[in-house]
Amino acid sequence: MSVPTVLVLPLPAQGHVNPMIVFSQRLVQNGCNIIFVNTEFIHNKVVSSMGNQQGCDTGRSLIKLVSIPDGLGPDADRNNFGVLFGSMLNNMPAMLEKLIEDLRLKDGVTVSCIVADFLMAWAFEIARNIGIKGVMFFPASASLLALNCSIPRLIDDGIIDSNGLPITQKTFQLSPSFPPMDIQSIWWAKTVDSKSANETYKAVVLCVQTLELTEWWLCNSTPEIEPGAFSFLPKLLPIGPLLRGVTEEKCLGQLREEDLSCISWLDQQPHASVIFVAFGSTTLFDEKQFKELALGLELTNRPFLWVVRQDSNSDSNNNLPLPNEFKGNQGKIVKWAPQQKVLSHPAIACFVSHCGWNSTIEGLSNGVPFLCWPYFIDQFFSKTLLCDVLKVGLGFDADENGLISRGEIKAKVDKVLSDENIRSKAHVLKEKLLNNMKVGGRSSENLNKFIKWLKE
Ligand code: UDP
């Protein structure tokens, strides 16, 4: 069997880079070489967050980090997905092809397979053109992929129009074995403006069409969490939960520097006492809601660890002031946490989360009860999974002005922490999930099968 060189291509976003780095680490452990291709914008962040980090090991890595430009200027709004996608589509394919050619001619490295993120599906055309393997990696929920693949049916059933915009206000079901989806799950319609929504919709349609060029579909999930989605998409292979290991380059792939001081702070807190509050890499708060959250945490009278991002980039300015009344004595605020380490810390009691898919998988794999505060994309559906199907969490109810009040925050924290049922369900599910990755476990076997195919 040969040593395959796999080119891994994530969408340029934190929640996509992280699981694809962990996936790459698994391949390296199984004798593959990895060329990990980020856009220049992301690559620079990954490299600079590693460089400043104590305890971050970059020397042993067999993952070669390389980059190509996304075609946008340094100050462009990369949160506008339609614009970013269009620019990547216009600029990156030729550069990726050149990169593969240069690797062969200058470094003597022959790429044998491209594993690309669903939303980087244009890369499968390159794989086909140069006669190498193409594999799709889906970093979000299997249910979201099922939704993306169901666009023609959603149009036929009158859920969306031919431009992808929701027609009904009702919830809908992709199949009888699926939990109901909120109309907010039609994620491409939820972007900054209608032009961007249309561009995003077209991008999704294009990506789904290009999937016919791929031989495998891999997903960071398991059938224990999403049985309906995996029976809906029999081609989709579960390989989750993809978690960083203790001996691995812990921060490889982080776009921001981790503040490790929160771990020593957690060491000083009582067992199962701390509320961990983190909303991923893109969620934005308005000032009123931010204030209510701060005062709600204070009102719980419990220790809390709260991630408040402070992005210097003006497009995603999240530098809101803490309210004057906020004392913060029983809490710690950091700009970016080593989230997986935090979630596995015995001091953590519950996770106030936006339910991004990685956060969902990481919280479930650590048996931590959830308080769900979804923001967009599949986060509303993840909330349904966590609260209504798996029953390992609770949601917040907004008041008549759409605000989640400090009283509601305190009430739900108290409720989730006193619910034995939720805690024991979370614990049982954690064991089931982790079994997937043990020798002989389903995801572990699926990965082995995939790696064997890579080496053929
Ligand atoms: N994350 C982290 N530190 C933080 C907040 C988040 O390391 O303070 C990581 C988290 O572990 C996860 C990723 O960032 O792997 C966020 O992905 P997710 O899908 O949860 O949310 P997104 O950022 O895509 O909205």
Q: Answer whether residue 86 shows pLDDT above 80.
A: yes
Q: Work out the pLDDT band at 318, boundaries 50, 70, 90.
A: low
15 lines ligand 1 (CB under 6 A): yes
Nearest CA to ligand 1 atom 6: 280
Domains present along the chain, CATH in parentheses = 5-247+436-455 (3.40.50.2000), 261-418 (3.40.50.2000)
**How far away, in angstroms, is 121 Cα from ligand 1 center?**
23
Q: Answer whether residue 58 shows pLDDT above 70.
A: no
Q: Work out the pLDDT band at 71, boundaries 50, 70, 90.
A: very high
281 lines ligand 1 (CB under 6 A): yes
Q: Is the peptide bond before 93 cis (omega within 30 degrees of 0)?
A: no
Kindly report the pTM of this predicted structure.
Answer: 0.96
Return mean pLDDT, the chain. Answer: 93
Distances (CA, A) of 443 to 96, 151, 160, 240: 30, 28, 34, 6
Q: Answer whether residue 194 shows pLDDT above 50.
A: yes
Q: Provide the phi-psi class of 55: left if phi over 0, else alpha when psi is between -120 and 50, else beta.
A: left
320 lines ligand 1 (CB under 6 A): no
Query: Which of 359, 368, 372, 380 to mutate to test ligand 1, by most ligand atoms within 8 A of the CB atom?
Result: 359
pLDDT tens digits, one per residue of 15-26: 999 999 999 999
Return the pLDDT at 47. 92
**How far away, in angstroms, is 359 Cα from ligand 1 center?**
6
Return the pLDDT at 57. 46
Residue with tokens 């082995």: 448
pLDDT tens digits, one per residue of 359-405: 999 999 999 999 999 998 889 999 999 999 999 999 999 999 999 99
Average pLDDT over residues 413-434: 98
- 150-164, 301-315, 407-421: range with lowest mean pLDDT: 301-315
User: Rounded to whole angstroms, how far apart are CA atoms 130 and 430?
Assistant: 42
Average pLDDT over residues 194-210: 92
Q: Work out the pLDDT band at 249, boundaries 50, 70, 90.
A: low
For residue 180, give the DSSP letter.
P
Q: Work out the pLDDT band at 1, boundaries 50, 70, 90.
A: low
Within 10 angstroms of residue 350's Cβ, the number of other Cβ atoms is 27
**How far away, in angstroms, is 89 Cα from ligand 1 center?**
26
53 lines ligand 1 (CB under 6 A): no
Nearest CA to ligand 1 atom 24: 15
Q: Is 89 exposed, middle or buried (0-12, 13-18, 19+ CB in 10 A)?
A: middle
User: Rounded to whole angstroms, how far apart are CA atoms 208 and 210?
Assistant: 5
Return the pLDDT at 247. 58
Is residue 54 a contact partner of residue 27, using CB atoms and an 8 Å limit?
no
278 lines ligand 1 (CB under 6 A): yes
Structure token pair of residue 260: 């490790």
pLDDT tens digits, one per residue of 118-138: 999 999 999 999 999 999 999
**How far away, in angstroms, is 47 Cα from ligand 1 center?**
17
Average pLDDT over residues 61-75: 92
Q: Work out the pLDDT band at 312, boundaries 50, 70, 90.
A: low
Q: Work out the pLDDT band at 165, boundaries 50, 70, 90.
A: very high
Is residue 362 a contact partner of residue 243, using CB atoms and an 8 Å limit?
yes
Query: Which of 20, 358, 368 to mutate to test ligand 1, by most ligand atoms within 8 A of the CB atom?
Result: 358
Return the pLDDT at 381. 92
Nearest CA to ligand 1 atom 13: 15
374 lines ligand 1 (CB under 6 A): no
Nearest CA to ligand 1 atom 1: 339
- For the chain, how big is the Rg over CA atoms in Å? 21
User: Rounded to whole angstroms, how far apart are CA atoms 375 and 356?
Assistant: 9
The separation between CA 414 and the C-alpha centre of its own chain, rounded to angstroms, equals 28
Average pLDDT over residues 237-248: 86
Within 10 angstroms of residue 277's Cβ, the number of other Cβ atoms is 25
Q: Answer whether residue 159 shows pLDDT above 80.
A: yes
Return the pLDDT at 127. 98
336 lines ligand 1 (CB under 6 A): yes
359 lines ligand 1 (CB under 6 A): yes
